[in-house]
Amino acid sequence: MDSAQLPEDFEAHPPQAGAVSASTPPSTPPSTPPSAPGPVVGRDQSPSEGKPPIVPGFAFRPTAIAGAYEVEMIPFRDARGTFSRAFCADTFRAQGLMDRFVHANLSGNPAKGTLRGLHLQEQPRAEVKLVRATRGRVQDVAVDLRPASPTYLRWAGVELCADKQNALYVPEGCAHGFLTLEDQCEVFYLVSDVYAPDLARTYRWDDPAFGIEWQIAPTLISDRDAAAQDYRP
């Protein structure tokens, strides 16, 4: 990224001591389980004389599901506060992840204990989702329903928090759902394909085949989600 792409009020500076430096993309494709637990770090850098200034970036932390990541924003900080980039197509593409989203959805949830899911859209309109809490805290869950995946039928859960500004990257072929952990939660997510009702599937949130460990007991579920059947390959 060159300096012309930075926000008008943005001033880039070298990182402070202890800041995470940039690294090259991983050699292991995201469709296979990561071999190390540490995050892959991606940053945008602007060319300049000498050491380039650092602008906001991301840490991609592997989960229990192949190709699913907790995405943490690495902000720029100064006396005014912070500036973070919520998504960057170039950085995601460099990590082998989806870099094109066609829908941006906002889910308002007034009550603690609201559960939405588990939802999946099948091929040829399978979806990648990038999910974050913009208000409150939620337990966000993905279940691997890809028969050829080394993590088939495993689930991964991440607590998404507006204060932490983290996100969950959910790859194609994974069912997704979330549970609100407090009142007045808002969930914002990017989706890589258009909604296709004939390809939409709902799976039981408490299916023993998944064994999801929800942090609290759900108290509000839609009729459709409550009537979902057990998963059958």
Q: Tell me the CA distances in angstroms from 207 to 155, 170, 175, 202, 212, one per residue in order.
A: 12, 19, 12, 11, 8
| Catalytic residue chosen out of the listed positions 119, 152, 176, 203 | 119
Active site residue 169: no
Quick one: how far is CA 173 from the chain centroid?
15
Q: What are the start-end ranges of the H helices in 88-133?
A: 89-94
| Catalytic residue chosen out of the listed positions 69, 189, 203, 231 | 189
* SS3 assignment, position 92: helix
Instruction: Count the Cβ atoms, other than its own, within 10 Å of residue 197.
Output: 6
CA distance linking residue 163 with residue 160, whole number of Å: 9
CA distance linking residue 67 with residue 171, whole number of Å: 6
What sign does the dihedral 29-32-37-39 (CA atoms) show?
positive
The residues assigned a catalytic role are 119, 189
